Amino acid sequence: MMARVPKELRIRLDEILMELEPYVIPSEPEPEGRPRKPRSRRQS
């Protein structure tokens, strides 16, 4: 589905999702003692 979306819009969507990530409650708690791995930003 996303293959048909122009690259510029996919990049914008990814940036917005990265901004929203701190506000989203994870669906599964992280195991004790294991910090979340930071997401790497994709370069275009």
Asked whether the predicted pLDDT for residue 21 surpasses 70, the reply is yes
Please state which of the ranges 3-12, 17-26, 30-39 shows the lowest mean pLDDT.
30-39
Confidence of residue 29 (pLDDT cuts 50, 70, 90): low
Q: Which pTM was predicted?
A: 0.51
User: What token pair was written down for 44?
Assistant: 């275009």
Higher per-residue pLDDT: 3 or 42: 3
Residue 2: predicted pLDDT:
85
Q: What is the rounded average pLDDT for all residues in the chain?
A: 79
**CA angle at 41 for the pair 39 and 44, rounded to the nearest 5°:** 155
Residue 10: predicted pLDDT:
95
Q: Which helix (H) or strand (E) holds 18?
A: helix 7-20
